[in-house]
Amino acid sequence: MPVARPESSDSRVIAHVDMDCFYVQVEQRKQPSLRGQPAAVVQYNSWQGGGLIAVSYEARKFGVKRSMRGDEAKEVCPEIHLVQVPVARGKADLNSYRNAGSEVVAILSRRGRCERASIDEVYLDLTIAAEAMLADNPPECLETISEEAVKSHVLGLEVGTDPRENVRHWLTRSDASHRDKLLACGALIVAELRLQVLEETEFTCSAGIAHNKMLAKLASGMNKPAQQTLVPFSSISKLLETLPIKKMKQLGGKLGTSLQIDLGVNTVGDLLQFSEEKLQEYYGINTGSWLWNTARGISGEEVKERLLPNSHGSGKTFPGPRALKTVASVEKWLSELCEELSERLQSDLEQNKRIAHTLTLHAQAHKSNDADSFKKFPSKSCPLRYGTAKIKEDALSLFQAGLREYLGQYNLKTSGNQNCGWGITGLSVSASKIVAIPSGTRSIMNYFQNQEETYPQVKLSSEKLFQDALLLSPSENCLGSGGHPTLQSTEGIARHEEDKETKHCVEEEDKEMCKEKGFLLSPEQLPDKETLICSSPVYPKWEKEYPRWEKDQTESSGVSLTEKSRDTFESEEGKRKSNKEKNMLLRLKGKFYKVVIRPTMLYGAKCWPVKNPHVQKIKVAEMRILRWMCGHTRLDKIRNEVIRDKVGVAPVEDKMREVRLRWFGHVKWRSIEAPVRRCERLTSVDPHSEPPQENSLTRGESSVDARLCSQFKRPSWSYDIDEIDQDVLKELPKQIQEEVQAWLRPQKRSNTVKKDLGITRYFLPAKDK
DNA sequence: ACGGCTAACACT
DNA sequence: TAGTGTTAG
């Protein structure tokens, strides 16, 4: 949804530069014989000649359109040259276009703030450059105005028989308003930039120059190719008056359709009849204001300083019959996609010194034999580890977690590649949260670049080693006592950490850990209870809404928890980390665990053991349950997901607490009112308690149990017993298996309806059980 | 059973 | 937040 931003009172000079049929131009530069020819770029697809993704202006004259099939294009324009998009790893490879786009950005960013809006478009904020020009060397003093500039189109200007002379006059008027003069300067600058682009890259582009992004964007498309269009302030209302509403950026989709159908608005001008309040009534505060402003040509959106993309993705569709039906084929394609992604991440690292922090997997799927086959395949993400093999591994885990969730009850026997009627019609992996490494950090570069070769055995990173050690049960732990891995990477990272305190802390603890454990945890050293500190990205919302644990909440059932008082805790450490460190309780199977979540380390997730006595313990076995619940094999993933979403109990004020429980992939949450102290007395689940009455609540609703009405708002989760993967269950230690079975048993009798798990009881006061 | 592949952003 | 949905080219 678009969102309104106030427009600064200053008169800005904004340009939108749009490459003309960019992919075609790239191919024409590669193959100059294509110049001036009807041509199009097709994405290879044997079906009906592939799909057109760019069409030259010569071909457009024949009526060839983007989104036509190759065969269709041949029909309307037999002599069209169809160029295929390069293919790598069995999929379209857009890298040559990305790189060409970068060439252009490098030039266009010379005169002011530059935002790369897509592979072939940028926004420029030329205000400062234009003001400087106006002050030093205004157009009116110039004896010659560039040829390119006088070819500009000035909206609302009567050009008569000598357009160039009229435009020249308009640009150089000494009696023009300040804002028109600024635009004139902008036009000169843009003309110059476009000329430079042409000379240095051989690409032509079109541009719009206006006082804001919206109008600049509108204008850049008005005269193509290779021309520029100016929007003087005085022309705005006329321009918008008759402009079809759908032409407006952001209104080409459902919102625009709704305006047409529901409000009878067909042109932007028609919108003027509606008061801001009315629009807000229909479309919400933000969108309403945005619409109101848009109708008046007002848009305060800033040009962001961004030359590089904020995310990288690689995806492919597998339409209809080509849908992937086995995990093996998914793995194969994921592997291809991950290779491309990893390659792009490596070049981003080398060229731009940037590191991505999150890996996300998206998929589309269909289910043939299922009533709710419209269910969407969930996207999943996890911290991104560098190295192709690791990315592949993680992507596959994410897929499998998603698949489990997607299949839900049909999941009972999917151990092999056996298909239960599902098909994957689209797959993509992407990397986001990309941040620049501070300058002068060779060691960090090394760290990430080395991830590539270290997999899987030779030189495991410290992080990986430790995680593996934790995740393996003693019997599985076959890590030898081979040489101590150096902590080179960790130190390299810590050295550049901005926060000296944190740095100190990290190094100290890492050192201590190494000293004490000899770094590698031998099977004997893997204790029943392991103390952990987890680093995790700061979660601002938690911070805001739940600033503190209350002391009395940290005392639990008396099971394995020895908590220092909050006061002690604060006096020791509170000052140092006060506002950055989050504490929360992890409650699992009736026991509380206090976990300290630290602000994220700068680079990559880490886990390390600590001595701090007030940091409580997570039993390895229970970590394994969590791992199972998450469908993830990685500790850091568990940490991020579980602690926040799975079994986290949010800090509360006196009477309120929010509980989030994600159970087998389904997030359920409720705010409940309950005296905190009484909640804490709960120590175990009673699986045989009678099921709660209300099962069908959806998120956001709340329910009041008549019995408890006066005191509590009662939470309700529903969960589907069939979502549980029985195979995974078997992986668990015997004792835990039995416990879990005990939870499940009462449900088995009626597994058609979603039922509350006994776990609901968990969060109710003991007294009322 | 088709338009394929990317990317940004708002909302929750 | 992580995850979803909308929009665009």
**Strand B, CB < 7 A, residues 18-57 of A:** 43, 45, 47, 51-53
User: Does residue A6 reach within 7 angstroms of strand C, measured from its CB?
Assistant: no
Residue range A636-683, pLDDT digits in tens: 333 333 333 333 322 222 222 222 222 222 222 222 222 222 222 122
Nucleotide nearest A301, CA–C1', reads: B9
DSSP secondary structure, A460-513, as one string:
--HHHHHHHHHHS-TTT------PPPP-HHHHHHHHT-S-HHHHHHHHHHHHHH
pLDDT band at A180 (very low <50, low <70, confident <90, very high): very high
Distance A171 CA to B3 C1' (A): 43
Phi, psi of A735 (to 5 degrees): -60, -40
Amino acid sitting at position A375: K
**Strand ranges (DSSP E) for A350-421?**
354-367, 380-383
Q: Cβ atoms within 10 A of the Cβ of A118, count?
A: 11
- Per CATH, is A20-90 categorized as 3.40.1170.60? yes
Residue ranges of domains in chain A:
20-90, 99-295, 316-436, 454-493+516-578, 587-685+727-743
Nucleotide nearest to A1 (CA to C1'): B10
> Which residue gives the smallest C-alpha to C1' distance to C1?
A539
Cα maximum dimension of chain A: 92
Nucleic strand B under 7 Å from the C-beta of A2: yes
**Side-chain half-sphere of A309: how many Cα atoms within 13 Å?**
20
pLDDT digits (tens, 9 = 90+) for A206-222: 999 999 999 999 999 99
Is any atom of nucleic acid chain C found less than 7 Å from the CB of residue A313?
Answer: no
Question: Left if phi > 0, otherwise alpha if psi is -120 to 50, otherwise beta: which for A519?
Answer: left
Identify the residues numbered 525 to 564 in chain A whose C-beta atom is closer than 7 Å to any atom of strand B.
Answer: none
Residue type, A535: S
Nucleotide showing the shortest C1' distance to residue A432 CA:
B7
Dist. CA A85–CA A22, nearest whole Å: 12
Q: Which nucleotide is nearest to A660 (CA to C1')?
A: C1
Q: Would the pLDDT of A417 be above 80?
A: no
Closest CA to A315 of A358, A360, A281, A356: A360
Report the alpha-carbon distance of residue A581 to residue A600 in Å, rounded: 10
A388 Cβ nearer than 7 Å to chain C strand? no
- What are the strands, taking DSSP E only, across A510-655? 529-531, 533-535, 582-588, 591-598, 607-608, 617-619, 648-649
In angstroms, the CA of A519 and the C1' of B9 are apart by: 43
- The answer to whether the beta carbon of residue A381 comes closer than 7 angstroms to any atom of strand C is yes
The answer to whether residue A121 is catalytic is yes
Sequence-distant (≥ 6) Cβ neighbours of residue A288 within 8 angstroms: A4, A276, A277, A278, A279, A280, A281, A282
Asked if A141 contacts A180 with a C-beta cutoff of 8 angstroms, the reply is: no
A484 or A440: which leads in pLDDT: A440
The pairing of beta strand A228-230 with beta strand A205-210:
parallel
Nucleotides of B strand lying within 7 Å of any protein CB atom: 1-11
- Highest mean pLDDT of the ranges A405-409, A515-519, A548-552: A405-409
> What is the total residue count of chain A?
769
Distance A497 CA to C6 C1' (A): 38
Is A538 (CB) below 7 Å from strand C? yes
Å between A496 CA and B8 C1'? 31
Residue carrying the six token digits 């008061």: A275
**Degrees to nearest 5, angle at CA A152 with A146 and A157:** 125
Q: What single-letter DSSP state applies at residue A211?
A: S
* Any strand B atom closer than 7 Å to A667 CB: no
A613 touches strand B (CB under 7 A): no
pLDDT at residue A110 is higher than 80 = yes
**pLDDT given for residue A448 in this prediction:** 60
- Is the Cβ atom of A284 within 7 Å of strand B at any atom? yes
Side-chain half-sphere CA neighbours of A631 within 13 A: 26
> With a 7 Å cutoff on the CB, does A456 touch strand B?
no
Which positions in strand C are less than 7 Å from the protein's CB atoms? 1-9
- What is the structure's pLDDT at A297? 93
Residue A560 near residue A596 (C-beta atoms within 8 A): no
pLDDT band, very low/low/confident/very high, at A188 (cuts 50, 70, 90): very high
A215, two tokens: 């109008």
Which chain A residues in 207-246 sit with Cβ < 7 A of strand C? Answer: 217, 221
Calculate mean pLDDT across residues A27-52: 88
**Per-residue pLDDT at A489:** 27
Q: How far is the CA of A469 from the C1' of B12 (A)?
A: 37
More confident residue, A279 or A666: A279
CA dist A83 and A441 (Å) reads 43
How remote is the C-alpha of A100 from its chain's centroid? Answer: 25
Output the pLDDT for position A240.
94
Share of chain A above pLDDT 90, in %: 36
Q: Does strand B come within 7 Å of the CB of A287? A: yes
Spatial distance from the CA of A588 to the C1' of C4 (Å): 29
Amino acid (one-letter) located at A322: R
pLDDT of residue A143: 86
Q: Do the beta carbons of residue A579 and residue A537 sit within 8 Å?
A: no
CB A67, CB A43: distance < 8 Å: no
> Is there a contact between A182 and A13 (Cβ–Cβ < 8 Å)?
yes
What is the distance in angstroms measured between the alpha-carbon CA of A119 and the sugar C1' of B6?
Answer: 9
Whether domain A99-295 has CATH 3.30.70.270: the reply is yes
Query: Gap from A426 CA to B1 C1', in Å?
Result: 13
Residue A104: predicted pLDDT: 95
- The 3-state DSSP class for residue A183 equals helix
The percent of residues above 70 in pLDDT, for chain A, comes to: 54
Q: What is the pLDDT of residue A508?
A: 37
CA distance A370 to A411: 12
CA distance A190 to A14: 10
Query: Amino acid identity of A208?
Result: G
CA atom of A545 to C1′ atom of C6, Å: 29
pLDDT attached to residue A373: 62
A102 in contact with nucleic chain B (CB within 7 A): no
Protein CA A284 to sugar C1' B11 (Å): 12
**pLDDT at residue A28 in the model:** 95
Q: What is the mean pLDDT of residues A621-631?
A: 35
One of A121, A393, A563, A622 is an active-site residue; which one? A121
Q: Which nucleotide is nearest to A247 (CA to C1')?
A: C8
Query: Is the Cβ atom of A360 within 7 Å of strand C at any atom?
Result: yes
Q: What is the pTM of this model?
A: 0.63
Identify the pLDDT of residue A334.
94
**Least confident segment among A385-394, A577-586, A757-766:** A757-766
- Nearest protein residue, CA measured to C1' of B7: A118
Q: Which of residues 134-193 of A touch strand B (CB under 7 A)?
A: none
Mean of pLDDT values over A573-589: 32
Most confident of A263-272, A278-287, A718-727: A263-272
User: Mean of the per-residue pLDDT values for chain A?
Assistant: 64
The reported pLDDT for the residue numbered A231 is: 96
Superfamily for the A316-436 domain: DNA polymerase, Y-family, little finger domain (3.30.1490.100)
The answer to whether strand B lies under 7 Å from the CB of residue A119 is: yes
